[in-house]
């Protein structure tokens, strides 16, 4: 009885399940097929991933083995591999079976040995100075928990890091590195800013803009009854600059200037204060400046001419022309270098005229202090000394101390200044002159 009931129950359950299976709608049937396809696709992906992982690990292991063998061969510490024993294996009776013989490992060993014998000596690697050496990164076998995609990403990151920063000790033994000079394309620039050779502020005949007020003025030991006011308008402007290497440049410069001296005094005849022009000098120069890191050179050719003012001629009743040796051309060379905030310079020149018109030799030395600072004002000062064969090499010494105002390359400089020596302006350069006063200097370019 119990068996009959159990058989009936099972039959009813089977019929019900078959009916339910037959009762699936078309949409449910498609969904079921999609799920089955997705399961198969996932299984296929897992199988392919596992295969790629095995291939990657085998490739990395082979690279590591070859690298170790290469290092050992270079060091000369690797012994000759013993030939593998060859055994005669009887053929298998099954025609479709695969016969495994030890000839494959022997062939691999022979290939590796031939490869070692053909490996050339390490050649020097020439690397530009600004390029970091990029040796082949050492490949290490990946762990079994790392997926191929993650392993490839890790290798790319390691190579990128090696290219950014490389320790030469990590390179292959025996690899020679020679650093070649970096190749920089020469760059030219018209009307550049700044100067390779900064103007010499305390040179009375430098092409710059300045004005001085000199209440103390002596000529041949006699104090002038009044005040002298030297004024200059000039500039030195680079026309073309060429940069060949960092810190190595050349430029062509044009400078123009006029130097005028006014006198302010009390006229006893009219019993009034008078202001008149004494003299005006004109200068034009062509300059070739060279910079080599901290060393600066100036090669200059200039023309200078001096002209007395009409007021001075009329007042002093000059009726006959006088010899004027301040009408000449000069070629000079000057070197400059800054050492711990002190600019040191010196040079020599030769006049391009007949010795009957003007004696040829001249020289100049000097120093100027300026400490770099972002403050609005900074202390400056220095001294300039010039010598002329025309004035028997008596030095003309011009010194000053004051402050520079501004944060640009066109700053204002105020100085208390003094001078002693030959007269730097006009045709009366043989006169012994001294002065004291204040001055304002500006380089407009």
pLDDT band (50, 70, 90) for residue 95: very low
- Give a yes or no: residue 348 inside a domain: yes
pLDDT confidence of residue 155: 65
Highest mean pLDDT, choosing among 29-43, 105-119, 141-155, 401-415 = 401-415
**Stretch among 28-32, 192-196, 243-247, 297-301 having the lowest mean pLDDT:** 28-32
Give the least confident one: 17-31, 102-116, 124-138. 124-138
The residue-averaged pLDDT of 190-218 equals 94
pLDDT confidence of residue 90: 47
For the residues 133-146, what does the mean pLDDT come to?
Answer: 45
Q: Please report the pLDDT score of residue 25 as a whole number.
A: 79
Give the model's pLDDT for residue 137.
Answer: 43
The number of distinct structural domains making up the chain is 1
Backbone angles phi, psi at 202, to 5 degrees: -85, 5
Q: Does 419 score more than 90 pLDDT?
A: yes
Calpha distance 118→266 (Å, rounded): 102
Listed in sequence order, the residues at least 6 apart from 289 whose beta carbon sits closer than 8 Å to its beta carbon are: 195, 196, 197, 238, 250, 251, 252, 253, 296, 297, 298, 299
Residue percentage of the chain with pLDDT more than 70: 71
At residue 108, does pLDDT exceed 80? no
Mean pLDDT of 233-255: 95
Whole-number pLDDT of residue 136: 43
Residue 97, pLDDT above cutoff 50: no
Enter the tokens of residue 75: 């060091």
Comparing 443 with 437, the larger pLDDT belongs to 437
pLDDT at 310: 86
Instruction: Say if 101 falls within a structural domain.
Output: no
Q: What is the mean pLDDT of residues 409-427?
A: 93
Cα distances from 368 to residues 336, 380, 383, 436, in angstroms, run 11, 7, 7, 19
Place of tokens 């359950």: 13
pLDDT reading at 278 higher than 70: yes
pLDDT above 80 (res 100): no
- Beta-carbon contacts of 138 under 8 Å, excluding residues fewer than 6 positions away, are 67, 170
Nearest to 348 by CA among 334, 336, 358, 367: 334
Residue 442's CB: how many other CB atoms inside 10 A? Answer: 16
pLDDT at 158 over 60: yes
Identify the pLDDT of residue 279.
Answer: 94
Judged against a pLDDT cut of 60, whether residue 294 lies above it is answered with yes
Q: Is the pLDDT of residue 329 over 60?
A: yes
- Kindly indicate the confidence band of residue 362, based on its pLDDT and cuts at 50, 70 and 90: very high
Cα dihedral angle (199, 200, 202, 205), rounded to 10 degrees? Answer: -70
pLDDT at 337 over 60: yes
Model pTM? 0.59
State the chain's mean pLDDT as an integer: 80
Assigned domain for 221 exists:
yes
Query: 144: pLDDT confidence band, cut at 50, 70 and 90?
Result: very low
Taking 80 as the threshold, does the pLDDT of residue 432 lie above it? Answer: yes
Residue 193 lies in a domain: yes
Which of 22-26, 177-181, 394-398 shows the lowest mean pLDDT across its residues?
177-181
Establish if 430 belongs to a structural domain: yes
Letter string b/e over residues 424-438, b meaning 16 or more CB atoms within 10 A of that residue's CB:
bbbbbbeeebbbebe
Residue 25 lies in a domain: no
Angle in degrees, 0-180, between the axes of helices 26-75 and 148-164, rounded to the nearest 10: 40
At residue 359, the pLDDT reads 96
Buried b (16+ CB within 10 A) or exposed e, 330-362: bebebebebeeeebebebebebeeeeeebbbeb
The pLDDT score that the predictor gives to residue 239 is: 96
**Listed residue (313, 295, 344) closest to 427, CA to CA:** 313
pLDDT tens for 219-239 read 999 999 888 999 999 999 999
Other CB atoms within a 10 A radius of the CB of residue 250 amount to 16
CATH number at residue 194: 2.40.160.40
- In a domain, residue 26? The reply is no
Work out the pLDDT band at 130, boundaries 50, 70, 90: very low
At 335 the pLDDT is 98
- All residues at 6 or more sequence positions from 342 whose CB lies less than 8 Å from its CB, including other chains: 367, 368, 369
> Which has the higher per-residue pLDDT, 415 or 93?
415
CA-closest candidate to residue 251, choices 268, 266, 237:
237
Domain with 413, as residue range(s), is: 187-442
Residue 413 included in any domain: yes
* H helices present in 253-327, as ranges: 310-315
Q: What is the model's pLDDT at position 200?
A: 96
User: In this model, does residue 85 exceed pLDDT 80?
Assistant: no
Per residue in 387-412, pLDDT tens?
999 999 999 999 999 999 988 878 89
Which pLDDT value is given to residue 445?
A: 80
Measured in degrees and rounded to the nearest 5, phi and psi for residue 31 equal: -60, -40
């Amino acid at each position: 009885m119990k068996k009959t009931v159990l058989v009936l129950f099972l039959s009813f359950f089977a019929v019900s399940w078959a009916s339910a299976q037959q009762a699936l709608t078309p949409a449910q049937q498609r969904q079921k097929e999609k799920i089955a396809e997705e399961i198969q696709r996932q299984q296929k992906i897992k199988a392919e991933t596992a295969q790629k992982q095995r291939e990657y690990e085998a490739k990395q292991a082979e690279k590591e083995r070859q690298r170790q063998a290469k290092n050992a061969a270079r060091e000369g510490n690797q012994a000759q591999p013993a030939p593998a024993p060859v055994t005669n294996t009887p053929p298998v009776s099954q025609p479709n079976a695969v016969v495994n013989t030890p000839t494959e490992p022997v062939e691999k060993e022979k290939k590796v040995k031939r490869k070692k014998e053909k490996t050339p000596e390490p050649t020097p690697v020439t690397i530009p100075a600004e390029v970091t050496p990029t040796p082949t990164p050492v490949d290490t076998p990946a762990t079994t928990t790392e997926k191929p995609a993650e392993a490839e990403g890790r290798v790319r990151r390691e190579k990128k890091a090696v290219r950014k920063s490389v320790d030469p000790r990590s390179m292959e033994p025996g690899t020679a590195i020679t650093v070649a000079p970096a190749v920089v394309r020469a760059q030219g620039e018209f009307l550049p800013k700044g100067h390779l050779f900064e103007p010499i502020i305390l040179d009375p005949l430098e092409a710059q803009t300045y004005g001085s007020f000199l209440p103390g003025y002596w000529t041949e030991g006699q104090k002038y009854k009044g005040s002298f006011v030297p004024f200059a308008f000039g500039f030195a402007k680079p026309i073309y600059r060429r940069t060949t290497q960092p810190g190595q440049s050349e430029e062509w410069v044009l400078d123009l200037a006029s130097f005028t001296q006014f006198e302010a005094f009390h006229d006893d005849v009219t019993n009034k204060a008078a202001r008149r022009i004494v003299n005006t000098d004109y200068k034009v120069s062509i300059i070739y400046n060279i910079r080599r890191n901290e060393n600066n050179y100036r090669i200059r050719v200039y023309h200078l001419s001096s002209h007395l003012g009409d007021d001075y001629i009329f007042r002093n009743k000059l009726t006959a022309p006088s010899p004027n040796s301040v009408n000449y051309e000069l070629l000079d060379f000057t070197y400059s270098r800054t050492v711990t905030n002190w600019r040191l310079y010196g040079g020599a020149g030769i006049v391009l005229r007949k010795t009957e018109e003007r004696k040829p030799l001249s020289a100049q030395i000097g120093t100027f202090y300026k400490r770099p600072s972002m403050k609005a004002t900074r202390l400056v000062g220095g001294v300039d000394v010039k010598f002329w064969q025309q004035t028997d090499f008596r030095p003309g010494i011009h010194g000053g101390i004051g402050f520079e105002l501004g944060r640009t390359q066109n700053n204002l400089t105020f100085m208390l200044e003094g001078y002693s020596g030959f007269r730097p302006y006009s045709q009366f350069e043989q006169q012994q002159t001294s002065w004291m006063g204040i001055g304002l200097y500006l380089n407009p370019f």
